[in-house]
Amino acid sequence: MPPEGYVDYKRREFCNDVKCPLQLLLNKQQEGSPGYEEIRRICKENCIFSTYDFHHWLIEKGFLIVRPKKNDK
């Protein structure tokens, strides 16, 4: 649950925003169909974007990456 006044990242928000060619193909498929699953496999194993791209996109869009504070004893 996000802090008050914030929203969670939506699934594939980055992919759709940067108009990833694989995501555009995926959007034309019915979820769960063989074509959909094949494109998803490509995305999982050979994404054309880097974590650097994703991280900087998050920053540009104002996303915060947070986690609960650890109890250091």
The mean pLDDT of the chain is: 92
Q: Give the pLDDT of residue 48.
A: 94
Amino acid at 45: E
Q: Give the pLDDT of residue 72.
A: 67
pLDDT above 70 as % of the chain: 97
Contact indicator for 73, 30 with CB cutoff of 8 Å: no
The 8-class DSSP code of residue 31 comes to T
> What pTM did the predictor assign?
0.80
The 8-class DSSP code of residue 49 comes to S
- Average pLDDT, stretch 9-18? 95
